[in-house]
């Protein structure tokens, strides 16, 4: 896709720690983790932790993926249902944790 800079936010602190830290070569997903580490180190990509409430778009797509039987879904444009959350995320709207 020609993306040269990417900031990736995840509400999975465990995943971020596995990718950015020292993970065991015996981990069930060691090969996948190493592939991600290699890709992140080769390009100008960064990984960050965020609370679920702080990234409603990621939460939306996680829920969308959970109800789908497809192995991969590509969205060339943002689905209409996620656009309000995109605006909130882009404007830095603050949300209280419940």
Interval 15-33: pLDDT, tens: 999 999 887 788 899 999 9
CB atoms within 10 A of CB 73: 10
Interval 69-95: pLDDT, tens: 988 888 888 899 999 988 887 787 776
C-alpha dihedral, 46 to 49 to 51 to 56, nearest 10°: 20
Q: Backbone dihedral region of 73: left (phi > 0), alpha (psi from -120 to 50 degrees) or beta?
A: beta
- The answer, as to whether pTM is greater than 0.75, is no
């Amino acid at each position: 896709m020609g993306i040269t800079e990417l900031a990736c936010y995840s509400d999975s602190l465990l995943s971020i720690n596995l990718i950015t830290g020292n993970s065991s070569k015996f981990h069930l997903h060691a090969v996948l983790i190493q592939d991600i580490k290699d890709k992140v180190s080769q390009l100008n990509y960064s990984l960050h932790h965020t609370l679920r409430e702080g990234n409603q778009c990621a939460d939306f797509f996680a829920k969308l993926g959970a109800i789908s039987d497809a192995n991969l879904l590509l969205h060339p444009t943002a689905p209409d249902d996620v656009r309000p959350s995109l605006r909130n995320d882009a404007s830095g709207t603050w949300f209280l944790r419940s």
